[in-house]
């Protein structure tokens, strides 16, 4: 079965309403003046003139509904006898067939915030995530005819895209593979991916996605405490590793300078003792307590 083709917007340039209104008023005024003049001059009014005046008066309820105004950043979608007639985007005062149905579509940017939803990330951890999406209608025909309600359609598709995005990425950066994109650590890349997914989903409704951002990201309450402890432990380990790396570099520089300047001649055992003492001083949390050794390492 072949897919239904998408609707396409057609620009419509209706008749300017100001000219039609002035011409219609002048026509009625002319008919009324002609009837009055005929009545004054001849005491009789031609039947044809009465018919024209009656038609002019009767046509008022049919002509006036044809006038409409298009505000800035708004559009009117016209349907005449069940067929799409076109879209009026240019702001102004117009007149069209009074039987044409007119639907107003906003062309302004819409800022939609999704609700916080609970979903499992790539590692299976339950997280809470929400997003803010900015979009606008690009094709009014698709927004009017290809979906039932383009705002409700966008709301559902935003939630679906967020669920898919969260399930394909871990919450935090994995320690074993730093190239994997995480929700918390790679916010710009995640936002771009979300925008691409939304554009693919909302194209059917004629919607252009301007921007998409993660507005809320957190572990679910049932595991938030445990995950916080894990993050704290990871931070402590990373800090310790950095301290050890710096301490090793400082010890290496100290041994090199002592050997280069000939301050003291250290054998392997004394070097090991010096290295151990320096590492304790540099890596320890408490202040070092000096101990004066009056003997030697050998007695």
pLDDT class of 234 with cuts at 50, 70, 90: low
Helix (H) or strand (E) holding 16, with range, is strand 15-16
Contact between 127 and 216 (Cβ < 8 Å): no
pLDDT class of 276 with cuts at 50, 70, 90: low
Q: What percent of the chain has pLDDT over 70?
A: 73
- DSSP class of 36: H
Q: Say how far apart CA 115 and CA 120 lie, in whole Å.
A: 16
At residue 292, does pLDDT exceed 80?
no
Average of per-residue pLDDT across 254-269: 65
- Predicted confidence at residue 91, as pLDDT, reads 93
At residue 175, does pLDDT exceed 80?
no
At residue 156, does pLDDT exceed 70?
yes
At residue 38, does pLDDT exceed 60?
yes
Least confident piece of the model among 72-76, 79-83, 242-246: 242-246
- Predicted confidence at residue 220, as pLDDT, reads 77
- Predicted confidence at residue 217, as pLDDT, reads 87
What sign for the dihedral angle of Cα 194, 197, 202, 208?
positive
Residues forming beta bridges with residue 104, ordered by sequence position: 76
- Predicted confidence at residue 1, as pLDDT, reads 40
Q: Say how far apart CA 292 and CA 297 lie, in whole Å.
A: 12
pLDDT class of 93 with cuts at 50, 70, 90: very high
Comparing 32 with 3, which gets the higher pLDDT? 32
Residues forming beta bridges with residue 60, ordered by sequence position: none
pLDDT tens-digit profile of 107-153?
999 999 888 888 888 888 888 899 999 999 999 999 999 999 999 99
Q: What percent of the chain has pLDDT over 90?
A: 40
pLDDT class of 263 with cuts at 50, 70, 90: low
Buried residues in 26-35 as b, exposed as e (16+ CB within 10 A): eebeebeeeb
Q: Say how far apart CA 158 and CA 135 lie, in whole Å.
A: 11
What average pLDDT does the structure give for the chain? 81
pLDDT class of 68 with cuts at 50, 70, 90: very high
At residue 36, does pLDDT exceed 50?
yes
Average of per-residue pLDDT across 250-256: 71
């Amino acid at each position: 079965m072949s897919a239904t083709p998408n609707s396409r917007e057609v620009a419509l340039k209706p008749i300017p309403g100001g000219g039609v209104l002035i011409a219609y008023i002048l026509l009625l005024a002319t008919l009324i003046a002609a009837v009055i003049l005929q009545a004054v001059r001849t005491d009789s009014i031609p039947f044809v003139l009465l018919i024209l005046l009656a038609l002019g008066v009767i046509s008022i309820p049919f002509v006036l509904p044809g006038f409409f105004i298009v505000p800035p950043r708004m559009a009117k979608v016209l349907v005449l006898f069940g067929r799409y007639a076109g879209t009026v985007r240019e702001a102004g005062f117009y007149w069209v067939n009074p039987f044409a149905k007119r639907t107003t579509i906003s062309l302004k940017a819409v800022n939609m915030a999704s609700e916080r939803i609970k979903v499992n990330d790539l590692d299976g951890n339950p997280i809470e995530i929400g997003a803010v999406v900015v979009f606008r209608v690009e094709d009014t025909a698709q927004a009017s005819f290809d979906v039932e309600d383009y705002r409700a359609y966008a709301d559902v598709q935003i939630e679906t895209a967020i669920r898919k995005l969260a399930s394909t990425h871990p919450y935090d950066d994995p320690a074993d593979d730093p190239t994997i994109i995480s929700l918390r650590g790679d916010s710009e890349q995640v936002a771009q991916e979300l925008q691409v997914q939304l554009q693919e989903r909302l194209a059917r409704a004629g919607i252009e996605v301007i921007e998409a951002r993660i507005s809320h990201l957190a572990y679910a309450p049932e595991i938030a405490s445990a995950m916080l402890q894990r993050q704290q432990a990871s931070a402590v380990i990373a800090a310790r590793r950095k301290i050890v790396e710096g301490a090793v570099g400082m010890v290496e520089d100290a041994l090199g300078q002592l050997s280069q300047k000939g301050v003291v001649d250290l054998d392997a055992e004394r070097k090991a003792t010096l290295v151990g003492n320096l590492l304790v001083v540099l890596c320890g949390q408490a202040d070092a307590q000096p101990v004066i050794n009056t003997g030697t390492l050998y007695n």
